[in-house]
Structures are given as structure tokens and as C-alpha cells.
Amino acid sequence: MNKLIEKNREFGSIDVDGIEVLWDEDHDERVIPVTKALKAALLYHGLPGDLIEALREHEGTLTVWIREGWNQYFPYSLYDEKSVKELIVKLVGELCDLIHGDYWSTFFGDEV
């Protein structure tokens, strides 16, 4: 388990379709439909369903933890890690705007 994910469990977490959603102090439930839609969009793009290990929304920013070794069993992917991150940023922006009419910026757990 990623130590940064452990550190961000201060306010609890829930499982949403196999992705751990880490709560912050306001428990913004708007992250739930975004999580579900993001997983579906990634599957649509041919990426594995367990690509994302955890998400955390805090003040309009979504932090995404990509599962380590996600491409170990997925060697023929058209996506490298940089391309996957770019796709996630694009999808999060579009999905948040579509679902909530609000843009959320995206960061990755290995970058914070």
C-alpha cells in the first residue's frame, strides 16, 4: 500500500467500484459519480479497470494514485505512463464539467 494513501486516510475512505475514495473534512460526495464515470471512460479507452488505486478531492483538486505496476500485465498498451496521466487529466476535466458544471484540476499522488 502506498504510504501517501495511508497518510491521506485521516477522514476515512470508501470503496467506489474498486477505487478507494479518500475523504477530506467536508466529505464532498460529488467525487463519487466522477469516480464511476472516470473508471468507465478509462475502460472505454482500453485501460485496465484497476488502473486507479485511489482518489481524493480537496478544494476543487482531484489527486489520483495510479496503481504501481499497472502495465506489468498489460505490456501491449498503446499508453505509456505520461500518456495515461494526460488522458486522466483530460477526462477528469471533461467529466467534472459535464457532471457538475465545475472544473477540477488533477494531480497525481506520486507528484505531490
Helix then strand then coil, in percent of the chain rounded to 5, is 35, 20, 45
DSSP state string for 43-78: HHTT--TT-EEEEEEETTEEEEEEPTTTTTT-TT-S
And the C-alpha cell for 74? 498489460
* pTM more than 0.75: yes
pLDDT at site 32: 95
Question: Domain spans of the chain?
Answer: 3-108
Distance CA 103, CA 57 (A): 12
- Does the pLDDT value for residue 1 go beyond 60? no
Over residues 55-86, the pLDDT tens digits come to: 999 998 999 999 988 777 666 667 788 889 99
